[in-house]
Amino acid sequence: MPPQRIYMDYHATTPVDPRVFAAMEPYFTEIYGNPASKNHLFGREARAAVETAREQVAQLIGARPKEIIFTSGATESNNLALKGAAGNIRGGASAQRNHLLTVASEHKAVLDPAGTLARDGIEVTLLGVGPDGRIDMAALKAALTERTFMVSVMQANNEIGVIQPVTEIGALCRSRGILFHSDGAQAVGKIAVDVNSMAIDLLSISGHKLYAPKGIGVLYVRTGLELQAQMDGGGHERGLRSGTLPTPLIVALGAACELCGAELEAESAALAVLRDQLLDGILAGLDGVTVNGSMDRRLAGNLNLCFDGVEAESLLQKVPHIALSTGSACTTADLQPSHVLKAIGLGHEQALSSVRFGLGRYTTAAEVAATVEGVVDAVKALREGSLLKGLGWKPDR
């Protein structure tokens, strides 16, 4: 019998929680009105469901319901936050504010819109991170100028799970009158996030990272903050995001947020136990393994390991029944190591020897044990192979 397949890639996406699916299902075939149709019952019942979901999302992050703007996902939310703020500031009274600060280890959904703004004449600073993956507050402070209009720093990293000092960043930005955007795609629903105590002005959320479906997300927009819409149309979502609201997806996101709020603490405690079993098991079976990024400021469900002398791509091929990720990007000819691993100072070879393990709501102890066994055996076999060929890894390294 082939081995049971194991999902260890919860940072890439999560399955929809069956409770979430049950909540959304009637909104496809029974309650199908357009939430913007104010004149009949069909529209009004859909509208009521959307507003309930808006309250559920707001509740999870300490926001007010009208500060929640539904989008298609965190990519769109990040684009709206960065380009929307830049567009508004350039058109407005403070045109001299043309500096954006973000971080080298951000997701491409922040780095790429920042790159677009740079080509449009915005000055962009990419702050580095330490070997632990965290930004240095003194360096951040030193990089701010009179012209900085926004700082964008993610809550938690999607590759190494490292949590940034968001409360300190928020306080600093608030004291300098600078907007603070945070990409919360990996954090919301996993760790406590509060837009007020963290002084966050804009927060991006992705449905499919917290057990809701793909194709739905949120941008939290603090009251009083103006953004330039990136989509023109019917003026939905306070004019910030035109387009008919996908009622089933929104209902699902609301339900998922409510579940996360209720279960977050117990879930992350349980995940930390499993994650530590995974790490301990691998370290007990192998030498030459290092953890990438801070171990104590980290999401409970994340592990990112460098296996000396082993190509991560080959390792993944050896355990095809386990869903893992390397973070590298395939360009036309060769493999590009992850920009996050490079940002924490890993060399080309170390970065290409690193693997991300993502645990989540349905990960079991049996799956963790099977992953330890599969990975330890595969790494041993790969290292033996390279020793036989007279290259690569030496046990005493």
- Give the residue numbers annotated as catalytic, written as ranges: 330
Residue 245 near residue 33 (C-beta atoms within 8 A): no
Distance of alpha carbon 199 from alpha carbon 220, whole angstroms: 12
Residue recorded with tokens 């390294």: 397
How many CB atoms are located within 10 Å of the residue 137 CB? 12
Q: How far is the CB of 240 from ligand PLP (least distance, A)?
A: 17
Encode 204-257 in three state secondary structure.
EEEHHHCCCCCCCEEEEECCCCCCCCCCCCCCCHHHCCCCCCCHHHHHHHHHHH
Distance of alpha carbon 183 from alpha carbon 55, whole angstroms: 20
DSSP-derived secondary structure letter, 212: S
Side chain identity at residue 351, one-letter code: A
User: What is the binding site for ligand PLP (CB under 6 A)?
Assistant: 73-75, 107, 109, 154, 158, 183, 185-186, 206, 209, 217
Nearest to 7 by CA among 324, 328, 378, 373: 324
57 vs 109, beta carbon nearer ligand PLP: 109
> Dihedral angle at the C-alpha atoms of 55, 58, 63, 65, nearest 10 degrees?
-40
DSSP-derived secondary structure letter, 308: T
327 dihedral zone (left: phi>0; alpha: psi -120 to 50; beta) = left
217 vs 337, beta carbon nearer ligand PLP: 217
Residue whose C-beta lies closest to ligand PLP: 73
Q: How far is the CB of 73 from ligand PLP (least distance, A)?
A: 3
98 vs 158, beta carbon nearer ligand PLP: 158
CA angle 376, 377, 382 (to 5 degrees): 100
Q: How far is the CB of 81 from ligand PLP (least distance, A)?
A: 11
Q: How far is the CB of 37 from ligand PLP (least distance, A)?
A: 27
73 vs 309, beta carbon nearer ligand PLP: 73
Q: How far is the CB of 78 from ligand PLP (least distance, A)?
A: 6
186 vs 354, beta carbon nearer ligand PLP: 186
What is the SS3 assignment for 30?
Answer: coil
